[in-house]
Homo-oligomer: A and B are copies of this chain.
């Protein structure tokens, strides 16, 4: 029985498509949805700091921006859930997307992860984005449903 579906989003078009797919499936199954959006710490670590600005302040403003974006992305799917009267909650995390998604799936005892084939950082020619590839290849017991772009 599928009762809890985890839906990762980075606000990309394919993540939104996967979100809509998950909402439809949850409706059919009478399941609840957990939306997760991960602030990618790697982006912060690799950012080149402009000369003349102190690194902490730049890092903070990037982090603020990431957090605001993550909340907005998760909120878009939560809104879809509310429209269809599906129980849902949002989770915002900071770290490596693959690690955080799998950790949340196990912690929340999700029966299924539904995600898009491509995220924001995907190379257009690649058939699978790096985060989806990572989650599928991760050694966890939770099944993964990949929605194509």
Contacts and interface: CB of A to CB of B under 8 A. Distances in A.
Interface in A1-28: 1-2, 21, 24-25, 28
A140 to B, nearest CB: 7
A144 B24 CA distance: 16
Instruction: Name the interface size band of chain A.
Output: 20 to 34
28 contacts: A1-B24, A1-B28, A2-B25, A2-B28, A21-B143, A28-B28, A28-B29, A29-B29, A112-B145, A127-B136, A127-B137, A127-B138, A127-B139, A128-B136, A136-B136, A136-B146, A140-B148, A141-B148, A142-B148, A143-B145, A143-B146, A143-B147, A143-B148, A144-B145, A144-B146, A145-B145, A145-B146, A146-B146
